[in-house]
Chain A
Amino acid sequence: MSYQGKKNIPKITSDRLLIKGGRIVNDDQSFHADIYMEDGLIKQIGDNLIVPGGVKTIEANGKMVIPGGIDIHTHFQMPYRGTTTVDDFAQGSKAALAGGTTMIVDHVMPEPGASLIEAHDQWRQWADEKACCDYSLHVDITHWNDSVKQEVDNLIKEKGVNSFQVYMAYKDYYQMSNSELYEVFTFLAERGGIAQVHAENGEIIAEEQARMLQMGITGPEGHVLSRPEELEAEAVFRAITIASQTNCPLYVTRVMSKSAADIISQARKKGNVVFGEPITASLGTDGTHYWSKNWAKAASFVTSPPLSPDPTTPDYLNTLLSSGDLSVTGSAHCTFSVAQKAIGKDDFTQIPEGVNGVEERMALIWDKAVTTGKMDENMFVAVTSTNAAKILNLYPRKGRIAVGSDADLVIWDTDAIRTITAKTHNSAAEYNIFEGVELRGAPLVVICQGKIVLEDGNLHATSGVGRFIPCSPFPDFAYKRIKARKQLAVLRAVPRGMYDGPVSEFSMSRGGTPSASARTSPTKQPVRNLHQSGFSLAGNPAPCGPPTPDDIPIRPAGRRIVVPPGGRSNITSLS
């Protein structure tokens, strides 16, 4: 590392940086080039750049320069029953930077019944005070009604939020019914939001939890026993069905099991617009630890959906991530101290849910996927950064090394070997679920907003410099296909003559119609009137008489000559 020109310009004023001799790795290609940054933006890329004097130069020595990671799923400073997670925005984002992640997207968790906007503002305030890196926010929709609808609309239009999470689990609390999900998805599809789901079948979980407790299983193993991966797969399947019905892009947070991942990859094969997000924990460890004799250790793995006890799961998820069936990685970093976890020491359902992973995320994927040959470095960039930026509509500002992009860069050391331990990690938690795991690959230099925050193993993060990055609706990555399908999927009624045969008598009073749900529908059939104008003509034994003027646009006379699929056109004749 050396300074070009005058050597004693203080670091603070040096907003200019030059990375020399690095190999730039984007999600589409890798190439050797120098990068010149000024004022937090990438200004020039290329060889033999002409740069002003007084620029700090970093010699990359042929190492990879990648876009800083985006952790699309964190829960920093999350309130929980009067306490908060031990990693606040300062601590959490410091850990993120230490791991090569230069942007986090946190979940706003309003209590059911509370205002989404107020919660959002609260989170903004917390994050603005403390965050050391850029951040953005998802808002969780914990209940659904018209005022929430208004707030969601407002958040999309004015607050720069484009992704909203709904819950299929946590019965009687966050959980939404299928009808509500349908409405939320429909609304988000209209407004260009991304529907994120926490996919687990809450009703069956409730039953299973009651059963486990009844059987006398109260330890953390009850958590995984009451939430078998089938329930995750079932909910994923259902969410995909609803999203496909409403033509809304779907984002499944926390893909924890093979079967859930399989459902996503099958749906993608069928053409559904669905993104799957495995998290650090599901990519790096498995659920056998729930049976640990050490209660504190077992409890530290408690998260929902739980880690799968199947030890082949991480490998499988890494494979799907490499093949593109899973799209992005998060960490779901949500750390509680052992004392907090111990709230549930006599009842596993009371254990606060959350695992760490924001710091380990990039290295773990490198170690498990790239060094094993599953994934190339470009794909690595895609799943750790670029895809997330695309989904959030932040691309190419984030997630790419290009002229004009934010200067969030990481010089990646592919060979560094680190052993994860709670003693050296940057999180405030006393445990680390990856304790003792050796990871190959680590960030050497991290540049955030054009400033060096990690260098020579020293972290220089500054609390409060993180900016809120607004996300705009209708991200192309998700919505281009949706838009095209919307145009195709216009349903049309079959123009028919009026049915003029006998109608048998029936009684509506008895609550027994199998399709009673329709009776509650507020809509009356507006188009029926149009048809009724043709009523007098339908009696003709010959195919209905000349079309009324109203009919002409939808039912040209020419069409009647063609034998309709499956039968004659006379309205009452029985074929």
Chain B
Amino acid sequence: MSDCRRQWNREDELPVYLAGPITTGSNQRKTYGMFSSVEGAFESKTIDFENYAVGRKGSRTPRSGSRERLLDTGDPISKLPSEARESSLNGSPGERDEARSRAEVRFSSGTENLNGKSERLLIKGGRVVNDDQSFYADVYIEDGLIKQVGENLVVPGGVKVIEANGRMVIPGGIDVNTCLMKSYLGTQPVDDFFQGTKAALAGGTTMIIDHVAPQPGDSLLEAFERWQEAADKKACCDYSLHVDIPQWNENVKDELELLVQDKGINSFQVYMAYKDVYQMTDSELYEAFSFLKQLGAVVLVHAENGDLIAQEQRKILGMGITGPEGHPLSRPEELEAEAVFRAITLGNRVNCPVYITKVMSKSAADTITQARRKGSVVFGEPITASLATDGSHYWSKNWAKAAAYVTSPPLSPDQTTPDHLHTLLACGDLQVVGSSHCAYSTSQKAIGKDDFTLIPEGINGVEERMGFVWDKAVTMGKMDENQFVAVTSTNAAKIFNLYPRKGRIAVGSDADIVIWDPDSVKTITAKLQQSAAEYNIFEGLECRGGPVLVLSQGQVVYEEGKLHAQQGTGRFIPRKPFPDYAYQRVKFRNQVKRKQGVTRGIYDGPVYDVAPTPKYITPSPSAKTSPTSHQPPPIRNLHQSNFSLSGAQIDDNIPRRSGHRIVAPPGGRSNITSLG
């Protein structure tokens, strides 16, 4: 990195991609340096803001039939506006000087611009931290996009300047797991998209991916649109959606295809728990995995063995345990590890990437680690709660407190769990951090006051997520700042195909940026949180590290403890299928894993006569139910044409047979009926 810095210090040798919009024309911008990931997408250095603006405006309009969603995030170029912008910039060299002088004044004109039309911002003197490297550079932002990264940037006038004073400038966090609209028995979580995204922004998270949770029997598409509508109205930050598949049938397939191809969804959750409601059998999972793999989607798995949970719940209720402690007792971590193992096995068989949501226990995390060591394409997502607290609180005498911790899989009562999960997160065995934020009020939780199985499941964590990862992993020396960025933002963007638009500070990326203060200390308490819930499961914990300033879409939304979030500014970010991060390996494996049968002569020995209606059924009757077994497979016909010949052992003039007989096959002689 040091030589890069040296380069930038000499202004005349400023890399072309940094000098971009002002000093050079679009035709000169052929070679790219480290930010080549955006090559071709931003040729003229000027983004088609209108294009995004359409998306933004559109997302506020009510759902209207076949409104076109912006699927192609990589190519938002449109000639007309960019040229206009360029000419205006090039035509006013004087403004450049003005801008500089203003930059030194700091904030002189910034305040008036904050709410004004101009969306230009310059972050000066910060240390840009991406997942791969950290370097000192200024960041210039215009219209919600990062336009320049480098030192001594030439920026137009009227720019608000933010002095970072050497603090870290990191890509805004992406919370991959929130449930802000997941209704339970008719009640909605107290944090809706407004409350939830506000909390997210206050914690340094500038994008959430929420779970669309349709009920069994509901249309996925309708549920998706309901979620999108609600989020468009209320969300304060960009969002995307996972869709949960509550049950598997033929109708679902069509809807999934539509969601992937037209709606910009590339991740779907299936459940291995919640027997008789969401749970899928292994066969259904196999089919779902196969189908989603064809679509290029990422399969999210809620991994717990629902059958056993149902049995354990019955047993524990039968023992008279009805309080929240019954929740972890009936869902021991072994059941989580078992389901994770099974999900990974399925993923391996289908050759499909598997993403385990909510890794809550050491054994589940270890199972993922081992599978990755064997080469499985599997991702693990610990959540704020499993990283910062443990399940001992389920035994609290305070019912409301104990119930507040109820989530599935439950927090592990093993107090060494958070530490272990942080270690795995730091070494890359677990990849992303979510929060699974799903806040219910105490009165909602009290639905299960006499029966722990009825307690609505959900905990908070969207606001505390980044802080705790910093506090427990980075300040402890387990993780460096780059890995911190990777697990809180970049990996999520890669897995869900948002990269490099999100998850990176680079020219052309969205201006979702956080200035991070590694030393600020705050005590978590429900009194000061943004969430509407009355409790906070991290109550009283001290957390070192937090955002000083949060930019979402190029706007300052959080500054010095003050939140300026605006309802409805969040855009839906569509995602394309086949994310490279998950699918590249899968594609190659597909090519390698072509199975071939053995070409043999036909068996011509005696065959035991089996009654047509077998009294004793074959031990593999499952094949009989398969639709293919009744019709003779294609190759068989080929063999059958040889049938008359196979009886003649010495007849070697059939080239196929004679050839085979010469070669000694692996493991035995080739004569078809002789016994080795």
| A residues with CB within 8 A of B | 79-83, 111, 170-174, 177-179, 182-183, 186, 201-210, 212-219, 221-222, 225, 228, 230-231, 233-234, 237-238, 241-242, 244-245, 288-289, 291-298, 300, 304, 337-340, 342-343, 345-347, 349-350, 352-353, 422, 430-431, 435-436, 491-499, 501-508, 510-523, 525-528, 530, 560, 564-575
Q: Does B134 contact A (CB under 8 A)?
A: no
Residue pair A79, B597 in contact (C-beta under 8 Å): no
Complex CA distance for A126 and B634, rounded to whole angstroms: 44
Q: Is B334 close to A, CB under 8 A? A: yes
- The reply to whether B442 and A574 form a contact with Cβ atoms under 8 Å apart is yes
Asked whether, in the complex, the Cβ of A507 is within 8 Å of the Cβ of B451, the reply is: no
CB-CB under 8 A for A510 and B606, given A347-B623, A566-B396: no
Q: A496-B397, A512-B216 are in contact. Are A178 and B345 (CB under 8 A)?
A: no
Q: A238-B338, A566-B395 are in contact. Are A520 and B276 (CB under 8 A)?
A: yes
Among B185, B318, B326, B396, contact of A507 (Cβ-Cβ < 8 Å)? B185
Binary flags per residue of B310-346, CB closer than 8 Å to A gives 1, else 0: 1111101111111101100100101101100110011
9 residue pairs A–B, Cβ–Cβ below 8 Å = A82-B610, A207-B286, A214-B633, A217-B596, A296-B675, A342-B606, A346-B636, A352-B619, A496-B398
Interchain CB contact under 8 A, A172 and B323: no
State whether B603 touches A574 (Cβ < 8 A). Answer: no
* A351 smallest CB distance to B (angstroms): 8
Answer yes or no: B444 CB below 8 A from chain A CBs.
yes
Q: Which among A183, A340, A565, A575 has the highest number of chain B CB atoms within 10 Å?
A: A575
In the assembled complex, the Cα of A499 lies from the Cα of B396 at a distance in Å of 13
Which residue of chain B has its CB nearest to the CB of A349? B623
The answer to whether B396 touches A565, judged by C-beta atoms less than 8 angstroms apart, is yes
Known contacts A289-B668, A496-B399; decide if A491 and B329 are in contact (CB<8 Å).
yes
B392 to chain A, nearest CB (A): 5
Extra 11 A-B pairs, beta carbons < 8 Å, given A512-B183, A518-B310: A202-B622, A209-B620, A217-B597, A238-B342, A244-B334, A288-B667, A342-B605, A430-B675, A496-B323, A504-B444, A573-B398
A518 near B401: Cβ-Cβ < 8 Å: no
Q: A430-B675, A574-B535 are in contact. Are A81 and B666 (CB under 8 A)?
A: no
CB–CB A517/B310 < 8 A: yes
Q: Which one of B534, B597, B618 contacts A218 once the chains associate, using CB atoms below 8 Å?
A: B597
On chain B, the residues within 8 Å of A241 by CB distance are: 305, 308, 334-335, 337-338
Using CB atoms, name the residue of chain A closest to B337: A241
Contacts A202-B622, A218-B597, A349-B620: A233 and B185 contacting too (C-beta < 8 A)? no
Asked if A518 and B598 make an inter-chain contact with CB atoms under 8 angstroms apart, the answer reads no
Contact B215 A82 (CB under 8 A): no
> Are A234 and B341 also in contact (CB < 8 A) when A296-B605, A343-B607, A494-B402 are?
yes
A525 and B317 in contact, given A204-B346, A503-B443, A512-B216 (Cβ under 8 angstroms): yes
A510 to B185 alpha-carbon distance, docked (Å): 7
Question: Is B9 among interface residues, defined by CB-CB distance under 8 A?
Answer: no
Please indicate the chain A residues that have their CB under 8 angstroms from the CB of B108 in the complex: none
A170 to B600, CA, bound (A): 27
Query: A514 contacts which of B398, B408, B673 (Cβ < 8 Å)?
Result: B408
A204 and B309 alpha carbons, distance in the complex (Å): 22
Does B672 touch A at the CB level, under 8 Å? yes
Binding site for A on B (CB under 8 A): 183-187, 215-216, 274-278, 281-283, 286-287, 305-314, 316-323, 325-326, 329, 332, 334-335, 337-338, 341-342, 345-346, 348-349, 392-393, 395-402, 408, 441-444, 446-447, 449-451, 453-454, 457, 526, 534-535, 539-540, 595-598, 600-603, 605-608, 610-611, 614-629, 632-636, 660, 663, 665-676
- For the complex of A and B, the 3 pairs showing the least CB-CB separation, nearest first, are A527-B320, A518-B453, A349-B623
Take A225-B595, A350-B618, A512-B185 as given contacts and tell me if A203 and B321 are in contact as well, using a CB distance cutoff of 8 Å. no
Closest to A170 in B: B619
| Alpha-carbon distance A448/B298, docked complex (angstroms) | 62
Contact between chains at A216 and B619 (CB < 8 Å): no
Q: Give min CB distance, A551 to chain B, whole Å.
A: 13
Alpha-carbon distance A572/B255, docked complex (angstroms):
45
Shortest CB-to-CB span from B54 to chain A, Å, is: 36
B616 x A523 contact (CB < 8 A): no
Taking the nearest CB of chain B, how far is it from the CB of A107, in angstroms?
Answer: 12
Distance of A363 from chain B, by nearest CB (Å):
19
* A353: B residues at CB distance < 8 A: 619-620
* B647 to A: closest C-beta gap in Å: 14
Closest to B405 in A: A566
In the complex, chain A residues whose CB is within 8 Å of the CB of B399: 496-497, 499, 571-572
User: If the complex has contacts A296-B672, A339-B608, A513-B185, are A575 and B535 also in contact, measured as CB distance less than 8 A?
Assistant: yes
CB proximity of A246 to chain B, nearest CB, Å: 9
CA distance A510 to B214 in the complex (A): 12
Question: In the complex, are the beta carbons of A216 and B633 less than 8 A apart?
Answer: yes
A443 to chain B, nearest CB (A): 25
Are B398 and A493 in contact, CB atoms less than 8 angstroms apart? no
Complex Cα–Cα for A436 and B442 (A)? 73
Partner of A517, one of B274, B600, B619: B274
Q: Which residue of B321, B526, B595, B607 is within 8 Å of A345 (Cβ)? A: B607
Q: Return the chain A residue nearest B441 by Cβ.
A: A504
CB <8 Å contact, B216 and A170 = no
Nearest chain A residue, comparing its CB with the CB of B637? A216
| Contact residues in B for A565 (Cβ distance below 8 Å) | 392-393, 395-396
Query: Could you tell me the distance in whole angstroms from the C-beta of A369 to the nearest C-beta in chain B?
Result: 23
B401 adjacent to A216 (CB under 8 Å): no
Give the docked Cα–Cα distance between A530 and B601 (Å).
76
A521: nearest residue on chain B (CB-CB)? B314
For the complex, give the distance between the alpha carbons of A238 and B335 in Å. 8
The answer to whether B628 touches A213, judged by C-beta atoms less than 8 angstroms apart, is: yes
Bound Cα distance from A518 to B601, whole angstroms? 57
By the criterion CB–CB under 8 Å, are A81 and B616 in contact? yes
Given contacts A81-B611, A511-B216, contact A304 B619 (CB under 8 A): yes
A174 to B539, CA, bound (A): 51
Contact A567 B666 (CB under 8 A): no
Q: Which of A111, A207, A566, A571 contacts B283 (CB 8 A)?
A: A207
The chain A residue sitting closest to B660, CB to CB, is A293
Residues of A within 8 A of B393 (CB): 565-567
Which residues of B have CB within 8 Å of A204?
A: 282-283, 286, 345-346, 349
Residues of A within 8 A of B619 (CB): 170, 173-174, 304, 352-353
- Report yes or no: B186 in contact with A506, Cβ–Cβ below 8 A: yes
B215, B603, B629, B663: most-surrounded residue (chain A CB, <10 A) = B603
Chain B hits for A83, CB < 8 A: 608, 610
CA distance A82 to B447 in the complex (A): 58
A210 with B628: CB separation less than 8 A = yes
The answer to whether A511 and B606 have CB atoms under 8 Å apart is: no
Instruction: Kindly list chain A residues whose C-beta atoms are within 8 Å of the C-beta of B348.
Output: 230
- A574:B526 contact, CB within 8 angstroms: yes
Please tell me if the beta carbons of B345 and A201 are within 8 angstroms of each other in the complex.
yes
Q: Check A182 against B398 for contact (C-beta < 8 Å).
A: no
Task: Across the interface, name the chain B residue whose C-beta is closest to A206.
Answer: B622
Evaluate contact between A567 and B397: CB separation under 8 angstroms: yes
Residue A523 contacts which of B283, B314, B342, B450 (CB distance < 8 angstroms)? B314
Assess whether A507 is in contact with B597, with CB atoms less than 8 Å apart.
no
- A516 CB to nearest B CB, Å: 5
Q: Are A503 and B447 in contact (CB under 8 A)?
A: yes
Q: Which B residues are CB-close (under 8 A) to A501?
A: 400, 442-443, 446
A506 touches B184 (CB 8 A): yes
With A and B bound together, what is the CA distance between A292 and B666 in angstroms?
6
Give the distance in Å from the alpha carbon of A571 to the alpha carbon of B400 in the complex. Answer: 7
Question: How far apart sit A568 and B397, CA to CA, in the bound complex (Å)?
Answer: 7
Which residues from B are CB-within-8-Å of A245? 308, 311-312, 332, 334-335
Closest residue to B326 on the A side, CB-wise?
A: A493
Closest-by-CB residue of A relative to B408 is A514
Closest B residue to A79 using CB positions:
B616
Tell me if B286 and A203 are in contact (CB < 8 A).
Answer: yes
Most buried by A among B278, B319, B634: B319
* Bound complex: CA A501 to CA B399 (Å): 10
Q: A501-B446, A517-B313, A574-B401 in contact; A510/B215 too (CB < 8 A)?
A: yes
